[in-house]
Structure 1
Amino acid sequence: MQSLLLKVLYLFAALRYPRYKGDLRYFVRDNFYARLSQLPFFIRDYAQKKPYKVIDFQGEFEHELRYVLPFTYWHYLNGTLKQTISCQATKPFYFFSENHTEKYTKRIWQDGYGNYNFPNMTHSPSFDYSKWVPVPFKKHYQNDLFRYDKPLLVIANKYNIEWDKPPINFLSIDALDRIVSTCKHTYQIVYNRPLSTQIIGDNSEIMDLNEHEWLRQQHPEVLLMNDLYQTHSDKLMNFNQLQLMVYANADRFISMHGGTAALASYFGGINIILSHPGGGFEHYFDEYSTIFPAFSGAKILHAKCADDVFEYVNRYF
C-alpha cells in the first residue's frame, strides 16, 4: 500500500509542480506522504490530547532544527508530548521536555530520509505549519551574562566536508578580516566555529581553518565562542547551551549553509546566510524565503558568494 501511494503522490507532485524534474519530485512526494501519515493521530492529537508522543531522532542537526523541534514543541503545547530522544548535548534544545534522553553519540544523516514520523521531513516548495511551532529560544535563553557595551554580532562559520567534497560554504581568513575590520567598531563580535569535540558529528568531517589563533592575534576585540566556553563552563550544561545564550542576546548574524544557518534563524533580527549555488536543495525550493524566516520572523539575506556577504554587511549592518 505504501509503495502504491508513493507512486501516486509522485505523479501528483509532477502535476502540481511541473517545473521540478527528476529527483526533486521525490522530495515533494515524501513531504506529501509525511503529511498524510499524520492522519491516524487525529483523534489523539485533537480530541483525547493526552501525553503519548515519543519523538526519537538521530538525523542531521539541520533537520532537527527545521522539522523535529517545531513538531516536538507543538506537541508540548498541545499536551501530547510524552518523551524526547536525541543525541548527546541536546537537552538545551529540548528544555521544555520533562523526559528527554540523550541516547546517540553520532548523527546519521540518512535518518532524516524515509522517516515519515514528522509532517515536514525534507526539502519542499511548501510546508505544513499546522503542527509546527518554533521553540522560543530567544525568549527562554536571554540573559545578562553575555551582554556588552555594543550590540552583538555573531559570525557563525564552518569549515567541513560538504556532500563528500572539500569545504564550499565558509568564510576564509581574508573574508573574516574584511568583515571584522568593517564591523568591530559598531558591534561586539562573537566568532563561532565549534570544534569537533564540542558538537555531535555526522558524515561531515570538520577540518581546520587555523583562524582561531589568527583572530586572537589580529583582532583581539573579537570574542571566540570557544574561549567563552572555557571561561564559563562551570555555569553551563554544555557548548550548545552557550550557543543558545549568546545567540539569544544578538540581533545580527552571519551564518553558513546548513544547521549553522538554521540555528541563527531562530533568533530574529537579520541573518546573512552564505550558501553557494549548486550545493543544497534550499536553492531549488527557495527555502530561504519560506521556512527560514518562519523560525522567528528574522530577515533572511541569502548571499550566494562572499561578495554578497560584504554587500549585505555594508547595507544592513
Structure 2
Amino acid sequence: MPLTLTNKLFSLYVRLRYPKAPRALSYYYRDTYNCEMHQLKYFFSDYIKKKKYKDISFNGEFAPELQFVLPFAYWHYKNGTLKSTRSAKYTKELYFFSPDHSESFDTRSNEGNYNFEVPRILYSHDYNMSKWLPVPLKAQYANDIYVYDKPILIIANRYNMEWDGPPISFYDIPTLDFIINHLKNDYTIIYNRPRPENITMDNSDVYDLNEFDWLNATHPEVLLMEDLYQENKGNANNFNHLQLMIYANASHFISVHGGTATLASYFGGTNLIISKQGPEHYFNCYQTLYPKLSGAKILHAKSNDEIKAYIHQHFAVNTPADV
C-alpha cells in the first residue's frame, strides 16, 4: 500500500481514536502505526524461518538511533536474524555485536529519522515494542583503566541549535558552578561536551559556551573528556569509543535531552536530564522509554531550580535520598 494512502488512513484513525491529541503531535501517532504495519511483512522471516537476512541501515539523528535502531538490531542479533548494519561514522563500537557493520554516512539527516523499517521512530504514544532489546553497552565496555579514587560523575552537556533556534536546554556556567561545588568532594567529575570534529554532525549548529577555559581556571579538579581522549590510555578507536569506556565505569550522570541523555541512560545508575521543552514531555519519554535502556533511574528537570533540588536529593552523598 502506498505510503501516502496509509498516512491518510492512519491520520483519520488517530483523529477518531485520540481526538484530544494535539494536532501538531498527531503525526507521531500515525507514524507509530506505519512502523507496526511495516513489521507485519517480516513475521515469517523473523519467527518461522529465522535465518540471517536482516540488513539494517540508518542515517538519522543520534537519539532515535540509540532509542530504536540499536535495540532493534540487537534484537535481530539475539534472534539469529541479523545479517548486517549500516550507520554513520564512529558507530562501529555501538554495533559491537553486528556480524557486518559499515560506517557509510558522514553526516546525519532529519530525513533519515523517518525510517519506518524500525519498530518506532522519534516519539510515540506506545513504547511497547516487541522487536526491541536493551544493548549491554555497560557490560561490554566496563574496564579497569578509567577507575578513580572517587566514583565517576559524568556531566554531559550540549549547547546546540534547537528547533532552528537558539539553545534552550543546557547547563550554563552558573549551573555548572553549582553542580561542581556541591559534588566535587564526593565524585571524580568528568565534563563532556564533544567538539564537532569528534562526532558525526546532524543539521544542528554547535555554539560556543566558553566554559572550557572557565573550567580550567575555576575548577581544575574537573577532568575533561577531550583531554582524556588526547591522552587515550584505553587506546580508544574514536571519541565515541572513549565515551563508552568511561560511561561504562560510571553510575552517575547529568545530561541534556536528545542523544546526550539517551547515551547516558544506557549505563544504569542515575541520570538527571535537563529538558525544558519538547515532544518528550507530552509522550512521557523520560518515564517510559528511557528507563528501558538499562533500568537507569531517570530524573527529569524542567528548570535550573529543579536541577538544584535533584542534586541535593539524589547526588549529594550525605542526603537521605542517597542512602
In the alignment, which residue of structure 2 is the partner of 1:235?
235
2:90/2:240 contact within 8 Å kept: yes
The structural deviation recorded for 1:18 is 2.8
Q: Distance in 1 between matches of 2:142 and 2:136?
A: 10
How far 1:130 moved relative to its partner?
0.6
1:249 partner amino acid? N
Percent identity over the alignment is 52
Instruction: Give the equivalent residue in structure 1 for 2:138.
Output: 138
Contact 2:127 2:289 in 1 (8 A): yes
CA distance in 1, matches of 2:20, 2:298: 25
Query: What residue in structure 2 maps to residue 65 of structure 1?
Result: 66
AA aligned to 1:301 is L
Following superposition, the deviation at residue 11 of structure 1 comes to 2.4
Distance 1:72 1:20 in 2: 31
List alignment gaps of at least 5 residues for structure 2: 316-323
Structure 1 distance, partners of 2:204, 2:8, is 32
Q: Given that residues 190 and 225 in structure 2 are in contact (C-alpha distance below 8 angstroms), is that contact kept between their aligned partners in structure 1?
A: yes
* Alignment-mate amino acid for residue 76 of structure 1: Y
What's the Cα RMSD here?
Answer: 1.2
The whole-number CA distance in structure 1 between the counterparts of 2:88 and 2:238 is: 13
Q: Secondary structure at 2:280's aligned position in 1? A: coil
1:9 aligned partner: 10
Say if 1:65 and 1:263, in contact at 8 Å, map to a contact too: yes
The TM-score normalised by the length of structure 2 is 0.95
Alignment partners' CA distance in 2, 1:194 and 1:133: 27
**Deviation at residue 303 of structure 1 after TM alignment:** 0.3
Quote the Cα distance in structure 1 between the aligned partners of 2:96 and 2:219: 35
* Mean Cα deviation higher: 35-44 or 16-25: 16-25
Shift of 1:19: 2.3
State the match for 2:318 in structure 1. Answer: none
Deviation at 1:272, TM superposition (A): 0.6
Task: Check if 1:166 corresponds to 2:152.
Answer: no
Paired residues in the alignment total 314
The alpha carbon displacement at 1:234 in A equals 7.1
Provide the residue aligned with 1:56 in structure 2: 57
Residue in 2 that maps onto 1:290: 288
Cα distance, 1:216 vs structure 2: 1.4
| TM-score, normalised relative to structure 1 | 0.96
Give, in angstroms, the shift of residue 128 of structure 1: 3.4
Q: Deviations over 1:73-105 (max 9, x none)?
A: 000111111111111111111111121101111
Q: CA offsets, 1:233-280, max 9 Å, x none? A: 671110001101111111111000110011111111111100003xx2
Distance across 2 between alignment mates of 1:275 and 1:265: 14
CA distance in 2, matches of 1:21, 1:164: 21
